[in-house]
Structure 1
């Protein structure tokens, strides 16, 4: 009697060729990962191109939606224009400062009004007695000639003007001015009101700020120092200056 042979059992698991194939696919994946990791994507250019499709920019006005990589190309021309404009603004402010300083010297006002050039622009510091009675915010007639001069000069330049009111630390409590905050703000506003009305200047060029006694330039310990702190500052701003 013959014995029946058992059929050969097939090996368990995946075929041998599939293991080799998997290794090959893994190596290819690793290769592309390495390529991607070494590549650099300019996200700015990518977003610019994407936005250009959405906005449908007209090529006549936007010849290239991608910024120039060559610094000697178009952007440098814009930079030159900006530098030229900044130089002209600086010259205008220096000329304005020279005119004001000459006026102060001719009219012997240097004791109560100081004109300087800072990073903020042309700064005019006017002591209280040059503009107001003590505890009041109505511009005195004696101050009209100087403010008229300032207003006339402002008609020649487009710069923004900031007017700051300051007081000493002595408290005030009246019906009109319950504190130094109201007094300093009212004085700054009075100066702006006078300048805009007499010279018909654009009110949107001006800003009034009242600091009260929070920004003294001298200790409030003597009558002379108290007088220094009671002041109005007119800042004819430099367009290049950014206030923090």
Structure 2
């Protein structure tokens, strides 16, 4: 029988496997992804370059106003603790320390009597203040209020000193830092190479302490020395100036009950001279301590305060 043998034409054909087709355009996917990321990058860069300066300033002032109320510490301005050095840094004119210590009248008088008096550029900006032209109206109003407050503090201390006849031994000036009370008067406060307080110095400190004690602002006591080399107990003028500031601070805190948490002592050595040169006048003037009532107003307000104070005093 031939039933078990199929004809050759009736056999089932084997399945033929075809070779898989290779996709030679796979690179287009990676290329498209790369171009998409690159386009996104340029869009972000373009958006970042289109910052509206006016709107940014409005936002900055709004945030500063919101965080700078009387009962809170401004996030933008930083706090002013005992060890806080924001009083010396990061303000439009905050690095002013030497010419800040005298008013315009005192500066003119010293220059007339001593041709070597040369206020440095470092201090002139903080004493003169920023221009009111183009300033924000709210900032000007706040600066006027701050200047008026500092003038009241100055008048109160001057009145207390006048009872002891020492009002002429202290120089006052209002700067972008606040009210600077300069103890500069020959040997009235400190002898050469010494940090010991004289009787007159203690009288000045004790007379001004009640006013300072009643304030809410931080107080910075800043010691200075002249360029003469020191000997004996002090290795350098840094130690001498720091000890002078410390002795003033201790008098305020230990004898006059000024809160220790609101006062700090700083020594500048002979790096911040009030009068240039090595004349007897310069050596005497640079042997000093400055007591600074640090303004707590925002930076843009404090920058306007000296201008307003000088205008109100007719300078």
Normalising by the smaller structure, the TM-score range is 0.5 to 0.7
Q: 1:80–1:227: structure 2 CA closer, same or farther, 3 Å change rule?
A: same
> What are structure 2's unaligned runs of at least 5 residues?
1-17, 45-54, 75-141, 300-315
SS in structure 2 at match of 1:226: helix
Paired residue for 1:210?
Answer: 267
Residue by residue over 1:20-74, the C-alpha shift from the partner in whole angstroms, topping out at 9 and shown as x without a partner, is: xx9xx99x989x889978988xxxxxxxxxxxxxxxxxxxxxxxxxxxx9xx9xx
Matched, 1:171 2:229: yes
Residue from 229, 233, 257 that aligns with 1:200: 257
Q: Is the 8 A contact 2:153 2:211 kept in 1?
A: yes
Q: Is the 8 A contact 2:68 2:298 kept in 1?
A: no
SS in structure 1 at match of 2:215: coil
Residue by residue over 1:66-106, the C-alpha shift from the partner in whole angstroms, topping out at 9 and shown as x without a partner, is: xxx9xx9xx95x76566764946554323102223444566
Higher strand share: 1
Written as runs of structure 1 = structure 2, the 5 A alignment for 1:89-108 is 90-103=147-160, 108=165
Q: Distance between the aligned counterparts of 1:36 and 1:202, measured in 2?
A: 57
Residue from 225, 235, 244 that aligns with 2:282: 225
Residue from 181, 191, 197 that aligns with 1:124: 181
> What are structure 1's unaligned runs of at least 5 residues?
1-10, 41-68
Q: 1:241–1:190: structure 2 CA closer, same or farther, 3 Å change rule?
A: farther
Residue by residue over 1:97-123, the C-alpha shift from the partner in whole angstroms, topping out at 9 and shown as x without a partner, is: 222344456655454310110001100
Say what the alpha-carbon RMSD is for the aligned residues. 4.0
Paired residue for 1:138?
Answer: 196
Q: Which has the higher contact order (CA 8 A, sep 6+)?
A: 2
Paired residue for 1:7?
Answer: none
Residue by residue over 1:198-243, the C-alpha shift from the partner in whole angstroms, topping out at 9 and shown as x without a partner, is: 231221222211112121122233111111111111111111367x
Paired residue for 1:50?
Answer: none
Q: How many residues align?
A: 199
SS in structure 1 at match of 2:254: helix
Q: Distance between the aligned counterparts of 2:272 and 2:65, measured in 1?
A: 39
Q: Is the 8 A contact 1:168 1:220 kept in 2?
A: no
Q: Distance between the aligned counterparts of 1:34 and 1:177, measured in 2?
A: 64
Q: Distance between the aligned counterparts of 2:152 and 2:202, measured in 1?
A: 22
Q: Is the 8 A contact 2:221 2:245 kept in 1?
A: yes
Q: Distance between the aligned counterparts of 2:167 and 2:43, measured in 1?
A: 67
Q: 1:170–1:29: structure 2 CA closer, same or farther, 3 Å change rule?
A: closer
Q: 1:36–1:110: structure 2 CA closer, same or farther, 3 Å change rule?
A: same
Q: 1:13–1:205: structure 2 CA closer, same or farther, 3 Å change rule?
A: same
Q: What TM-score, normalized by structure 1, do the two folds share? A: 0.62
Q: Distance between the aligned counterparts of 2:66 and 2:33, measured in 1?
A: 52
Residue by residue over 1:166-219, the C-alpha shift from the partner in whole angstroms, topping out at 9 and shown as x without a partner, is: 111111111x22322221111100000001122312212222111121211222
